[in-house]
Amino acid sequence: MHPFGSRLLGPADQRAPSLRRRVQILLTTTLLAANTLGATIALTLSTWVIPGPAATPATRVMITTAVPAYVLLALVLGSLWGTNHALRALRWALEDRIPTDQDRQVTLRVPRHLTRVQATLWALATVLFTTTIAIIQPALVFTFAFTTAFAGTVVCANAYLLSEFALRPVAARVLGDEPRGGTGVRVRMLLFWCLGTGVPVAGLLLVAVFALVRDAVPTTRLAITVIVLTGVVLVIGLLVTEFTARAIVGPIWSVRDGMARVREGELDTRIPVYDGTELGLLQAGFNRMATGLAERERIRDLFGRHVGPQVAEAALAAEVEHRVLEVAVVFVDLVGSTTLAATRPPTEVVELLNRFFAIVVDEVDRRGGLINKFVGDAALAVFGAPVPVTDHAGAALAAARGIARRLPVELPACQAGIGVAAGPVVAGNIGDARRFEYTVIGDPVNEAARLTELAKSTPGRLLASSRAVERAAPGESARWRTTDRITLRGRTEDTILAVPADDPD
């Protein structure tokens, strides 16, 4: 994808020296091409097409010497005049500095200034040649006046369109995300219709009227004149329409390509805003949309990191409500965290905690659980809320075994007690409407916390309630065995303890 609609205009991040060379070459080339086309049309029409008397020797001398000399002079003068003024107006861009408000206004007027330069030179040519021919051969006054004015109109139309095209990289730096200062699409279309269709057709009408007035014009010559002029009008109209269509479609294509990239997940996509009309507003609107999507995704990601992706998805879908659910709970708490904090630098403690929690999160996520909260050096994980988990008890028990297995190997400096319980809880948002959190409340949470305290002083440092093991699928429950019956602190009924089958007594 080319950011400005054409490979000729280069990349969006091109440096000032490259931009200067590119702009200077494109402006000079396009102005020379427009003027050469105009001169060719003028000479062709005045010499072979427009009906009239044969040229006298003096007229032929003017056509073969004065006209080419002026055209050459106009080509050089117009290119130098227009290009030098454009480069002065664009000095801020070529020096790679931020434009002032005056720089912006002058830059956006460059295509119009270049068009005025061409209009001045061709108006001067019209007056000069018409006056000269009125002196040496008055019968050809209409022919020279019409062909020169017609060619000048063609040059002005193409000069504006081509210079606007060449200056897109600079216009993008001026407009930013606030297009302003350009003509509207409707005015632009009407102007280009006048230049590409209205004026040429009016000229064709004038030639027809002139031929009718001159009774001596042969029918064959008139037919040839009409055919050639019609062909010229069609070609010029096609050129202006093509350039106009590209000027309009280019920004739309850039938005289309940008939307395709956003659809593929590239939310950092931005497109250059190089059009000062409503199309530029469309480009700027796309950039604001992409920025908003990226910010929304960043907030969503941050929200998901704080509350868990499942809770975030449920909250965004407005599905979080208080419900009684069957869940399994895993509670993990570091052993000796107070001593750890007192004997090690704070940065080292934070690093150890992060590594510890990374293991916990990894095992819980792997089995579809939710890290409901971090409480200092402890973590509470829930399986079965807010999103149902197949065999929630088995998943919780497997996650607990994975944590107990990895901690001594990967982080021997951190020992933790792990408790697992299962049963009915109330799950939903708790707090005030201005600040709440998703959590679960019920006996299994308290039971898991008490089992964690007890596990800190038992071999393997992992205990589960028999109810959690009984609720697990056979594949996981077979990995556990029951041991003692105990009344946990703060509870009235006994809890039958279970440990992994391969743990020592």
Over range 416-436, report the average pLDDT.
83
Whether the bond between 444 and the residue before it is cis, its omega within 30 degrees of 0, is: no
Residue (of 208, 196, 201) closest to 50 by Cα position? 208
DSSP 3-state percent helix, strand, coil across the chain (nearest 5): 65, 15, 20
Check residue 195 and give its pLDDT. 66
Query: Which pLDDT belongs to residue 196?
Result: 65
- How many structural domains compose the chain? 2
Query: Do 239 and 100 reside in the same domain of the chain?
Result: yes
In a domain, 304, yes or no: no
Residue 426 lies in a domain: yes
One domain for residues 366 and 266: no
In 3D, which of 424, 409, 404, 387 has the Cα closest to residue 464?
A: 404
User: Closest Cα to residue 14, out of 163, 173, 144, 138?
Assistant: 173
Gap between the Cα atoms of 148 and 119, Å rounded: 11
What is the rounded distance in angstroms from the CA atom of residue 208 to the CA atom of residue 251? 40
Per the DSSP assignment, residues forming a β-bridge with 426 are 324, 441
Domain boundary among 292, 310, 336: 292
Question: What pLDDT score does 211 carry?
Answer: 65
With beta carbons less than 8 A apart as the criterion, state whether 312 and 303 touch.
yes
- Average pLDDT score over residue span 63-82: 76
Q: What is the pLDDT of residues 116-125, one digit of tens each?
A: 888 888 888 8
Of 256, 277, 292, the last residue of a domain is: 292
The answer to whether position 307 is within a domain reads no
Assigned domain for 2 exists: no
| Residue span of the structural domain in which 387 resides | 320-500
Better-predicted residue by pLDDT, 442 or 162: 442
**Pair (288, 416) in one structural domain:** no
Residue range 74-90, pLDDT digits in tens: 777 777 777 777 777 87
User: Does a structural domain hold residue 8?
Assistant: no
Is the distance from CB of 360 to CB of 332 less than 8 angstroms? yes
Do 82 and 206 belong together in one domain?
yes
Radius of gyration of the chain (CA): 41
| Beta-bridge partner residues of 430 | 437
Alpha-carbon distances, residue 362 vs 116, 356, 371, 402, 497 (angstroms)? 69, 10, 10, 9, 26
Among 293, 313, 317, 294, residue whose Cα is nearest residue 303: 313
Q: Which of 161-175, 205-219, 362-376 has the lowest mean pLDDT?
A: 205-219
Put residue 45 in one of left, alpha, beta given phi > 0 → left and psi -120 to 50 → alpha. Answer: alpha
| In a shared domain, residues 61 and 170 | yes
Instruction: Give the model's confidence band at 399: pLDDT under 50 very low, under 70 low, under 90 confident, else very high.
Output: very high
Please report, for the domain that includes residue 445, its CATH number.
3.30.70.1230
Distance from C-alpha of 401 to C-alpha of 460, rounded to nearest angstrom:
10
Q: Are residues 284 and 327 in the same domain?
A: no
Q: Are residues 332 and 229 in the same domain?
A: no
Residue 240 and residue 331 in one domain: no
Residue 4 lies in a domain: no
Kindly state whether residue 325 falls inside one of the protein's structural domains: yes
Of 71, 24, 17, residue with least CA distance to 44: 71
Same domain, yes or no: 135 and 218:
yes
pLDDT at 311 over 60: no
Place of tokens 């959590």: 439
Q: What is the mean pLDDT of residues 175-188?
A: 65
Structure tokens of 345?
A: 């630098």
- Alpha-carbon distance of 372 to 316, in angstroms, equals 17
Specify the pLDDT at position 233: 72
CA atoms of 150 and 201, how far apart (whole Å) = 10
Q: First-to-last CA distance in the chain?
A: 68
**Within a domain: residue 190?**
yes
Q: What is the pLDDT of residue 48?
A: 62
Last residue of a domain, one of 292, 308, 329: 292
Mean pLDDT of 427-448: 80
pLDDT score for 321: 64
Please state which of the ranges 21-30, 53-62, 156-165, 191-200 shows the lowest mean pLDDT: 191-200
Taking the CB of residue 348, how many other CB atoms lie within 10 A of it?
13
Same domain, 469 and 424: yes
Task: Verify that 252 and 362 share a domain, yes or no.
Answer: no
pLDDT at 396 exceeding the cut of 90: yes
Between CA 319 and CA 493 the distance in angstroms is 35
In this model, does residue 228 exceed pLDDT 60?
Answer: yes
Residues 82 and 208 grouped into a single domain:
yes
Tell me if 196 sits within 8 A of 239, measured CB to CB.
Answer: yes
pLDDT at 467: 92
* Beta-carbon contacts of residue 67 (< 8 Å; ≥ 6 apart): 42, 43, 129
Q: Which residue has the higher pLDDT, 225 or 4?
A: 4
Of residues 453 and 193, the one with the higher pLDDT is 453
Query: What is the tens place of the pLDDT at every residue in 232-289?
Result: 777 777 777 777 777 788 888 888 888 888 888 888 888 888 777 777 778 888 888 8
pLDDT over 60 at 324, yes or no = yes
